[in-house]
Amino acid sequence: MATERSGLTVPETVPVSSLPADTEQYDVVVVGFGIAGGCAALEAARAGARVLLLERAAVHGGTSSMSGGHFYLGGGTAVQQATGHEDSAEEMARYLIASTKDPDETKIRCYADGSVAHFDWLEALGFEFERSYFPGKAVIQPGTEGLMFTGNEKVWPFRDDIAPAPRGHKVPVPGDTEGTKLVMDLLRDRVTEAGVEVRYETGATHLVVTESGDVAGVAWRSFEHTGAVCAAGVVIAAGGFVMNTDMLEEYTPALTEKLFTLGSTYDDGLGIRLGQSVDAALEHMEEPFITAPFYPPSSLVKGVIVNRRGERFVAEDSYHARTSAAVLREPGATAYLIADSDHMGEQRMPLVPLKDGYETVGEMEAALDLPAGSLAATLARYDEYAARGEDPDFHKHPDWLAPQTTGPWGVFDLSLGTALYAGFTLGGMRTDLDGRVLREDRSAIAGLYAAGACASNIAQDGAGYCSGTQLGEGSFFGRRAGRHAAGLAQ
């Protein structure tokens, strides 16, 4: 039975009546010191609460510190204004609603309406997003540029009805490995200044509950030591479940197939299972984020992607996760990116390997075992319309259209099992605007909050995902959870 798998074990709750009279008391306890937990702890402390922050690792940061440093923000931020990009909260909300499979419109509009103020709050931690714009296609800006498109805003059909605006705000650190660490270090400093007590190498193991089922604290473990702490509010911000094979097999089996998992050791779903112990409802647990970016260089986006039949099936200018989702729906999850000599460039994202180069289209077609004449017909049609700046089949943006007529041609293998697909989980506990955890009947579990990757917020559609959404909403809704939890103690 599935419930016998250890990775699905739901911890028992601890009755508050069983704790000794001298059990430690705090106003708010936060579980997990990633971006969501750190922001929750800081806002709770600034609201006057006495806050304890528990982190299983020996350092702060969590999986947040492994990300590239994008925050998805809009509505007219200082960077958008400085770089001449008009945006509004309404347009930002409309785009997120249109591009999300099952949108929570209330949360999306709250996030969009508060986006500019949240941008300002982030900068007040002690850094400034560079007032500059990167116009190319990349997973993350190569330098310190503060803004780029990180979703499908310019991709059809979204661009026809919603004015595109770039919203991927990157921390001003070159490359993609140290960006969020800067923010997390500053957040740690602000948390310390606010008087939050932080205990590292200490993990929550159980929730403490009252006779009526309200959450009243947590039990914890640190090496061989165990204990408990009582609090008016508990905020769980303990990450996703991408490192828990049993949970992946139960909820998101696609992430068990030839994929590299993006997460830390502690993305084991314990936070979600703690929520289950008090009947938290779960949402979008079946939804993964999976991708194998083939750009940069940007020039490759001007090439064509074909399936086993030698036919195009996706607009090549799509955000990389949207393209990957389309590939995974194809027979055998097989696809090839073809670019001519004028557009191959120097590959800087080696997740999608170069299969080979070919002197003629016929040679390429035969080597890929495509139906006779299929690739030649596909390229002829694409080239004819691309020369006019048109793409009647998939409406690729004119910026990324160019005939592929200069041999030799290179073939990049996008197929699952050859390209390095990576992914993480998007589902978690159902929450309201203030991070309160909800039951199946949408009633709130008193005293319990969730934020970040263990909560289900707006980033729940892998194909419609925008880079920076998790850091953006994790910090945004983490702040709201912290403030609301602090109010319980007043």
Confidence band for 309, pLDDT divided at 50, 70 and 90: very high
- Residue 466 · residue 150 · CB < 8 Å: yes
Question: Does the structure show a pLDDT above 80 at 350?
Answer: no
**Domain end marker among 170, 198, 214:** 170
Q: 386 is in which domain, residue-wise?
A: 293-419
Q: What is the pLDDT of residue 174?
A: 78
Contact 135, 115 (CB under 8 A): no
* DSSP, res 345: -
| DSSP code at position 453 | G
Q: Which two tokens stand for residue 135?
A: 């116009």
Q: What is the mean pLDDT of the chain?
A: 94
Whether pLDDT at 351 is above 90: no
Q: Are residues 61 and 183 in the same domain?
A: yes
Verify that 257 and 393 share a domain, yes or no. no
CA distance 175 to 139: 10
CA dist 381 → 237, 412, 447 (Å): 51, 20, 61
Percent of the chain at pLDDT > 90 equals 86
Average pLDDT over every residue of 50-64:
91
* CATH number of the domain that residue 365 is part of: 3.90.700.10
Q: Six-digit token pair at 240?
A: 């996703």
Q: Of 393, 419, 445, at which residue does a domain stop? A: 419
pLDDT for 452-481, tens place per residue? 999 988 877 878 889 999 999 999 999 999
pLDDT digits (tens, 9 = 90+) for 94-133: 999 999 988 999 999 999 999 999 999 999 999 999 999 9
Residue 2 confidence (pLDDT) = 42
Q: What is the mean pLDDT of residues 191-201?
A: 98
* pLDDT of res. 180: 83
pLDDT for the residue 1? 36
The mean-pLDDT minimum among 54-68, 76-90, 277-291 falls in 54-68
User: CB neighbours (10 Å) of residue 439?
Assistant: 14
- And the tokens for 78? 């200082």
Per-residue pLDDT, 469:
93
Tokens of 299: 């020039």
Q: H-type helices in 228-286, by residue range?
A: 245-251, 270-276
In sequence order, the 6+-apart residues with CB closer than 8 A to the CB of 457 are 104, 107, 431, 451, 473, 474, 477
279 and 231 within one domain? yes
Give yes or no for residue 3 having a pLDDT over 60.
no
d(CA 5, CA 207): 21
Q: Is the pTM for the entire model greater than 0.85?
A: yes
Which tens digits make up the pLDDT trace of 214-258? 999 999 999 999 999 999 999 999 999 999 999 999 999 999 887
Separation CA 32–CA 62 (nearest Å): 7
The pair phi, psi for residue 260, each rounded to 5°, is: -95, 125
Boundary (domain end) residue, out of 170, 190, 219: 170
Q: How far apart are CA 75 and CA 114, in angstroms?
A: 9
In the predicted model, what is the mean pLDDT of residues 311-317?
A: 98
Number of domains into which the chain is organized: 3
Please name the residues in contact with 18: beta carbons below 8 A apart, sequence gap of 6 or more: none
302 and 391 part of one domain: yes
State the pLDDT at residue 462: 77
Same domain, 249 and 380: no
Are residues 182 and 258 located together in one domain of the fold?
A: yes
Do 309 and 360 have their domain in common? Answer: yes
The answer on 375 and 333 residing in a single domain is: yes
Q: Are 283 and 297 found together in one domain?
A: no
My answer on whether 52 and 93 are in the same domain is no
Give residue 47's pLDDT band: very low, low, confident or very high (50, 70, 90). very high
Q: Which residues contact 402 (CB under 8 A, 6 or more apart)?
A: 302, 342, 343, 386
Q: How far apart are CA 90 and CA 426, in angstroms?
A: 25
Which one, of 187, 40, 78, lies nearest residue 125 by Cα?
187
Q: Where are the beta strands (DSSP E) in 401-477?
A: 409-413, 421-425, 428-430, 436-438, 444-450, 455-456
CB 295 within 8 A of CB 379: no
What average pLDDT does the segment 304-309 reach?
A: 98
Q: What is the CATH number of the domain that holds 271?
A: 3.50.50.60
381-392 pLDDT, tens digit per residue, is 999 999 999 999
Q: Which residue has the tokens 């990349």?
A: 138
Asked if 285 and 350 sit in the same domain, the reply is no
153 and 233 fall within a common domain:
no
Q: What is the pLDDT of residue 48?
A: 97
* Max CA separation in the chain (angstroms): 81
Measured CA to CA, the distance from residue 477 to residue 490 in angstroms comes to: 21
> pLDDT tens across 7-34, in order?
999 999 999 999 999 999 999 999 999 9
Structural tokens at position 456: 């289900």
- Residue 1, judged by CB atoms within 10 A of its CB (0-12, 13-18, 19+), counts as exposed
Position 176 confidence tier, pLDDT thresholds 50, 70, 90 = low
- Mean pLDDT for the stretch of residues 415-435: 95
Q: In the prediction, which pLDDT does 424 show? A: 92
State residue 264's pLDDT score.
85
What is the predicted pLDDT for the residue at 12? 97
